[in-house]
């Protein structure tokens, strides 16, 4: 009987579907005040979440107790973004309760998939950086490591994307409009955060200088805890997200002096801090509010950490850095460095040198990009206005660093001093958050081998010379729990049956699949699953875009933020070239292809939005052109997000990873797609290089300029016009943009793309790489036609992705940076 099936996980081994069903019914009424007759999907979802939370909270308490009793060293992952996606399915899977819940719901006549579709994505991030943070906290919990994620409890996550006549429209995202069953408010841990105001210099009784900051406003930080359930459920860590509110005590003054309206204005301004996530990705925001967000969550988190530390160690700071590691996810939380200095020096009267050692041992920094426009800088005047005391501290950090460390290494060298200074001189003086992060950290890492090498050679060469041990690499990874087990149940089952079910915590076990790569029967099963996943995606495509696609075509997928360096427009140029070839020669030899895109453009990034529009317009034309007999289809799925990625990735045949070499720090979508058996067409950039090394050159299709060649081309003086005149196909396709072929009656609507690639200088070398890309696609086509060859390559991609497990990344962080010990909670 279905009722009696049990889980294989220790904590939930005795949970039957019948018991889980009873628990759902109990919570439907006792927790959510409704009953089977009235319950909506939302109520059922609430009830399932509550039933699930019984196990989560139990493990959460036990985990916290274990860490406390062992006085464990912990890592604190400071990140302005956590792109969590949905939690219900993930938590059920990680607790081993998915099948049990599925059966329980079936008896209640509810389809579990419909139910988990009720949940809004928790989209508190933009792209790779935020999703990486989410994968990392999953791995930390799974590996039983003491860790807290710290971030902002945004009221609105990344905007919801709609298309109107092909144009991107941004709508607000309200992920928790009616509450969220997975978060717990913790009023006992509220913090007060001062901002603005001025600094007073005082002399104490001994004639020592003391600095007193008189803030202009105080913002209240209210923590919300999201339990992070490790695989098998024994350890549950927390993600603590700060919501800003107006501070009560401060408001009284305003209220008494200025009356209701002023007090209300204060409220609104304070609450604005956690209102929205900045939707920019890899571009600097440069806004006062953004700096306040960064300070607000860093300061709340440090106070929280110090409170916890003081409960065990009082004011003995000598053990602080032994207990506390803080990882700065990019420079966004770098203001935590002067904040910890301020706390130690101003509030706890510690000696500067002593405090500085504590800081440097506590912080480490991950760099996620080399793009100059993403390297954060704040004007000195803004800093002075918002954080006057921190600016003074930064000046002092900088003065000591330049006078002592830089002077000792390069005596009298002002050129190097001005390059390494935290302050950039110029008509507007700027605070360089990258330099601050390197100077205040113990380790600095890039996120893939090639990227880390470039961080050393191009971005921070002098820092590397000064501290040869400081700069290091940790290649990114993705959690196989969400990105294979949960999102691709059919393939997971086949893998379980082939190599056993231990792979979700030891992805290297997939390597054994290589023994089956030539086995015709296994190939058939593997490709049959891919086909079923494609059938499912085809119905999602139909539902979202009304376009019919044939699941036996090649599904070629590019999913990532829209950015010139990621070159969705190179993909588009090639699609147009294929279209043209088909028009010119209806017998043009190609297996039917569906090009599928998913991407959001930053709302202020005009060209990125133009590229979305162009893809949608070309799609319209191509999809409705009977002359090409359905050989080519193009779809752009709206509102790309984690939950949509989970539907797309299992259905991909081809993974587009085509950034200009040297620009994509790592990429993580490339790993997810390959793990699910897609074959990469890619440049030698970021983690593509390591993926190619792992899966072997027969199982990827590499093209294009290398990092060194890109440098050489730019040095020699690149002219896109040379390619325009030399290659008639490039010329024809670019000229097409200026006609009204795709925008009937409105010629020139797509001209900005041509313009950026010619007059604009083609900064990302699309035209230089076009020919290589086009030939690489011919290779893909030939490869696909060889059914067995393709199946073998697809299997080997899955088999050889072991390295790209985020557990391996976390182990590297532990070994090279955090030095943590694991504390598995004992199961009684």
Which of 358, 372, 465, 367 shows the shortest CA–CA distance to 424?
372
Where do we find the tokens 């921070």? 460
Instruction: Kindly give the pairing relationship between strand 198-203 and strand 209-214.
Output: antiparallel
Determine the length of the chain: 828
Site for ligand CR1 contains 568 (CB under 6 A): no
- The number of angstroms, rounded, from the C-alpha of 695 to the middle of its chain's C-alpha atoms is 24
Separation of alpha carbons 817 and 443, rounded Å: 7
Site for ligand CR1 contains 151 (CB under 6 A): no
Site for ligand CR1 contains 477 (CB under 6 A): no
- Active-site residue identified among 160, 290, 332, 561: 561
Nearer to ligand CR1, 358 or 665 (CB): 665
As measured in angstroms, the least distance from the Cβ of 625 to ligand CR1 is 35
What SS3 state is found at 257?
Answer: helix
Count of residues in contact with ligand CR1, rule CB under 6 A: 18
Contacts of 581 (CB under 8 A, 6+ apart): 588
Question: Which whole-number Å values give the CA distances from 310 to 26, 242, 319, 697, in the listed order?
Answer: 41, 21, 11, 54
Site for ligand CR1 contains 807 (CB under 6 A): no
As measured in angstroms, the least distance from the Cβ of 476 to ligand CR1 is 5
As measured in angstroms, the least distance from the Cβ of 137 to ligand CR1 is 14
Nearer to ligand CR1, 281 or 392 (CB): 281
Sequential DSSP letters for 28-79? HHHTT---TTT--HHHHHHHHHHHHHHHHHHHHHHHHHHHHHTT--EEEEE-
Nearer to ligand CR1, 317 or 460 (CB): 460
As measured in angstroms, the least distance from the Cβ of 32 to ligand CR1 is 38
- Residue 74's region, left for phi above 0, alpha for psi from -120 to 50, else beta, is beta
Separation of alpha carbons 143 and 231, rounded Å: 8
As measured in angstroms, the least distance from the Cβ of 281 to ligand CR1 is 6
The footprint of ligand CR1 on residues 626-665 (CB under 6 A) is 664-665
- Phi, psi angles (nearest 5°) of residue 273: -55, -40
Site for ligand CR1 contains 478 (CB under 6 A): no
As measured in angstroms, the least distance from the Cβ of 806 to ligand CR1 is 11
- Active-site residue identified among 566, 663, 783, 808: 566
Choices 41-49, 666-674, 736-744, 779-787 (CB under 6 A): range interacting with ligand CR1: 666-674
Site for ligand CR1 contains 686 (CB under 6 A): yes
Site for ligand CR1 contains 370 (CB under 6 A): no
As measured in angstroms, the least distance from the Cβ of 651 to ligand CR1 is 22
Which of 121, 125, 101 shows the shortest CA–CA distance to 113?
101
Q: Where are the beta strands (DSSP E) in 471-586?
A: 471-473, 554-559
Nearer to ligand CR1, 266 or 281 (CB): 281
As measured in angstroms, the least distance from the Cβ of 374 to ligand CR1 is 5
The footprint of ligand CR1 on residues 3-62 (CB under 6 A) is none
Separation of alpha carbons 76 and 411, rounded Å: 37
As measured in angstroms, the least distance from the Cβ of 176 to ligand CR1 is 24
Nearer to ligand CR1, 108 or 375 (CB): 375
Choices 24-32, 224-232, 316-324, 366-374 (CB under 6 A): range interacting with ligand CR1: 366-374
Determine which residue in the list 63, 293, 437, 476 makes contact with ligand CR1, applying CB under 6 A. Answer: 476
Nearer to ligand CR1, 220 or 560 (CB): 560
Separation of alpha carbons 561 and 598, rounded Å: 8
- Residue 635's region, left for phi above 0, alpha for psi from -120 to 50, else beta, is beta
- Phi, psi angles (nearest 5°) of residue 262: -60, -45
Instruction: Kindly give the pairing relationship between strand 184-185 and strand 167-171.
Output: unpaired
Site for ligand CR1 contains 666 (CB under 6 A): yes
β partners of residue 213: 199
For residues 325 and 431, the answer to whether their CB atoms sit within 8 Å is no
Choices 28-36, 340-348, 368-376, 546-554 (CB under 6 A): range interacting with ligand CR1: 368-376
668 is catalytic: yes
Nearer to ligand CR1, 104 or 239 (CB): 239
SS3 content of the chain, % helix, strand, coil (to 5): 55, 15, 30
Nearer to ligand CR1, 166 or 669 (CB): 669
Order of strands, edge to edge, in the sheet holding 554-559?
Answer: 632-636, 593-598, 554-559, 654-657, 679-682, 701-702
- Active-site residue identified among 21, 153, 176, 368: 368
The footprint of ligand CR1 on residues 703-732 (CB under 6 A) is none
Separation of alpha carbons 458 and 735, rounded Å: 37
As measured in angstroms, the least distance from the Cβ of 495 to ligand CR1 is 25
Nearer to ligand CR1, 21 or 482 (CB): 482
Determine which residue in the list 115, 129, 391, 730 makes contact with ligand CR1, applying CB under 6 A. Answer: 129
Q: Where are the beta strands (DSSP E) in 440-575?
A: 444-446, 471-473, 554-559
For residues 588 and 629, the answer to whether their CB atoms sit within 8 Å is no
Separation of alpha carbons 593 and 554, rounded Å: 5
- Active-site residue identified among 76, 390, 672, 754: 672
Site for ligand CR1 contains 128 (CB under 6 A): yes
561 is catalytic: yes
Report angle CA 333, 301, 155 to the nearest 5 degrees: 80
* Binding letters toward ligand CR1, positions 764-793, x by CB under 6 A: ------------------------------
The footprint of ligand CR1 on residues 314-333 (CB under 6 A) is 330
Site for ligand CR1 contains 809 (CB under 6 A): no
Nearer to ligand CR1, 763 or 789 (CB): 763
**CA atoms within 13 Å, Cβ hemisphere of 147:** 32
Question: Which whole-number Å values give the CA distances from 42 to 32, 100, 297, 465, in the listed order?
Answer: 10, 20, 31, 58
Site for ligand CR1 contains 447 (CB under 6 A): yes
Choices 41-49, 128-136, 377-385, 715-723 (CB under 6 A): range interacting with ligand CR1: 128-136
368 is catalytic: yes
Separation of alpha carbons 415 and 595, rounded Å: 50
Separation of alpha carbons 85 and 645, rounded Å: 10
User: Residue 697 CB: number of other CB atoms within 10 A?
Assistant: 9
- Phi, psi angles (nearest 5°) of residue 823: -130, 80
As measured in angstroms, the least distance from the Cβ of 367 to ligand CR1 is 8
Site for ligand CR1 contains 374 (CB under 6 A): yes
As measured in angstroms, the least distance from the Cβ of 132 to ligand CR1 is 4
Determine which residue in the list 138, 155, 282, 762 makes contact with ligand CR1, applying CB under 6 A. Answer: 282
Q: Closest-CB residue for ligand CR1?
A: 128
Site for ligand CR1 contains 680 (CB under 6 A): no
Site for ligand CR1 contains 369 (CB under 6 A): yes
- Active-site residue identified among 443, 485, 560, 792: 560
581 is catalytic: no
- Active-site residue identified among 7, 16, 479, 668: 668
For residues 173 and 123, the answer to whether their CB atoms sit within 8 Å is yes
Site for ligand CR1 contains 132 (CB under 6 A): yes
Separation of alpha carbons 659 and 84, rounded Å: 25
Determine which residue in the list 221, 227, 667, 682 makes contact with ligand CR1, applying CB under 6 A. Answer: 667
As measured in angstroms, the least distance from the Cβ of 592 to ligand CR1 is 31
Determine which residue in the list 86, 308, 368, 754 makes contact with ligand CR1, applying CB under 6 A. Answer: 368
- The number of angstroms, rounded, from the C-alpha of 33 to the middle of its chain's C-alpha atoms is 37
Interface with ligand CR1 (CB under 6 A): 127-129, 132, 281-282, 330, 368-369, 374, 447, 476, 664-668, 686
Q: What residues act catalytically? A: 368, 560-561, 566, 668, 672
């Amino acid at each position: 009987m279905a009722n009696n099936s049990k889980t294989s996980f220790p904590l939930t081994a005795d949970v039957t579907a019948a018991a889980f069903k009873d628990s759902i019914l109990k919570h439907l009424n006792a927790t959510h005040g409704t009953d089977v007759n009235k319950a909506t999907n939302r109520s059922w979802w609430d009830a399932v979440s509550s039933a699930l939370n019984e196990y989560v909270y139990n493990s959460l308490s036990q985990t916290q107790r274990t860490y406390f009793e062992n006085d464990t060293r912990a890592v604190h992952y400071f990140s302005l973004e956590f792109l969590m996606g949905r939690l219900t399915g993930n938590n059920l899977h990680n607790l081993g309760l998915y099948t049990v819940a599925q059966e329980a719901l079936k008896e209640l006549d509810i389809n579990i998939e419909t139910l988990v579709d009720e949940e809004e994505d928790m989209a508190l991030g933009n792209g790779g950086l935020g999703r990486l943070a989410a994968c990392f906290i999953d791995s930390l919990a799974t590996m039983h490591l003491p860790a807290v994620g710290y971030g902002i409890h945004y009221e609105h996550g990344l905007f919801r994307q709609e298309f109107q006549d092909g144009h991107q429209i941004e709508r607000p995202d309200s992920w928790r409009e009616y509450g969220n069953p997975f978060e717990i408010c913790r009023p006992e841990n509220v913090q007060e955060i001062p901002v603005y105001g001025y600094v007073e210099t005082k002399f104490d009784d001994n004639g020592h200088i003391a600095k007193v900051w008189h803030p202009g406003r105080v913002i209240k930080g209210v923590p919300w805890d999201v339990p992070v359930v490790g695989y098998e459920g024994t350890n549950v860590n927390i993600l603590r997200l700060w919501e800003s509110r107006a501070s009560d005590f401060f408001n009284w003054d305003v209220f008494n002096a200025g009356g209701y309206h002023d007090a209300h204005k204060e409220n609104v301004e304070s609450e604005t801090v956690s209102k929205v996530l900045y939707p920019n990705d890899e571009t600097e925001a440069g806004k006062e509010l953004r700096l306040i967000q960064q300070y607000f969550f860093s300061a709340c988190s440090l106070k929280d950490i110090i409170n916890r530390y003081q409960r065990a160690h009082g004011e003995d700071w000598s053990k602080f850095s032994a207990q506390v590691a803080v990882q700065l996810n990019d420079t966004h939380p770098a203001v935590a460095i002067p904040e910890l200095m301020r706390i130690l020096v101003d509030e706890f009267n510690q000696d500067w040198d002593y405090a500085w050692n504590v800081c440097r041992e506590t912080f480490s920094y991950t760099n996620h990009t080399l793009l100059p426009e993403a390297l954060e800088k704040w004007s000195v005047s803004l800093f002075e206005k918002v954080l006057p005391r921190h600016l003074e501290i930064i000046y002092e950090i900088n003065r000591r660093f330049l006078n002592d460390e830089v002077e000792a290494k390069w005596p009298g060298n002002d050129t190097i001093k001005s390059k390494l200074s935290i302050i950039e001189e110029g008509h507007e003086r700027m605070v360089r958050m990258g330099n601050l992060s390197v100077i205040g950290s113990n380790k600095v890492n890039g996120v893939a081998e090639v990227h880390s090498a470039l961080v050393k050679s191009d971005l921070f060469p002098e820092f590397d010379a000064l501290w040869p041990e400081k700069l290091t690499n940790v290649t990114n990874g993705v959690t196989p729990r969400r990105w294979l087990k949960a999102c691709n149940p059919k393939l997971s089952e086949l893998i379980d049956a082939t190599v056993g079910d231990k792979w979700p915590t030891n992805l290297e076990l997939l390597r054994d699949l290589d023994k089956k790569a030539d086995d015709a029967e296994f190939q058939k099963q593997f490709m049959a699953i891919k086909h079923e996943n494609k059938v499912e995606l085809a119905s999602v495509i139909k539902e979202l875009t009304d376009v019919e696609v044939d699941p036996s075509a090649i599904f070629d997928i590019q999913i990532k933020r829209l950015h010139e360096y990621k070159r969705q427009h190179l993909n588009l140029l090639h699609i147009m070239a294929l279209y043209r070839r088909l028009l010119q020669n209806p017998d043009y030899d190609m297996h039917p292809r569906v090009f599928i895109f998913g991407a959001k453009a930053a709302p202020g990034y005009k060209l990125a939005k133009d590229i979305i529009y162009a893809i949608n317009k070309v799609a319209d034309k191509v999809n409705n052109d009977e002359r090409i007999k359905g050989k080519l289809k193009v779809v752009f799925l709206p509102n790309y997000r984690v939950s949509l990625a989970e539907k797309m990735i299992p259905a991909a045949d081809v993974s587009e990873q085509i950034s200009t070499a040297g620009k994509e720090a790592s990429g993580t979508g490339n790993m997810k797609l390959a793990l699910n058996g897609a074959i990469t067409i890619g440049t030698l950039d970021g983690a593509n290089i390591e993926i190619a090394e792992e899966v072997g050159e027969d199982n990827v299709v590499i093209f294009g300029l290398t990092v060194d060649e890109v440098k050489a081309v730019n040095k020699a003086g690149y002219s896109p016009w040379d390619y325009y005149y030399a290659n008639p196909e490039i010329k024809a396709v670019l000229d097409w943009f200026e006609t009204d072929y795709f925008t009937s009656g409105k010629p020139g609507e797509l001209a900005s793309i041509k313009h950026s690639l010619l007059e604009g200088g083609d900064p990302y070398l699309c035209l230089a790489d076009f020919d290589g890309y086009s030939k690489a696609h011919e290779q893909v086509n030939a490869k696909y036609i060889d059914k067995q060859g393709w199946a073998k390559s697809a299997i080997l991609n899955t088999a050889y992705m072991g390295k790209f497990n985020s557990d391996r990344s976390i182990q590297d962080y532990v070994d090279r940076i955090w030095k943590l010990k694991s504390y598995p909670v004992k199961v009684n």
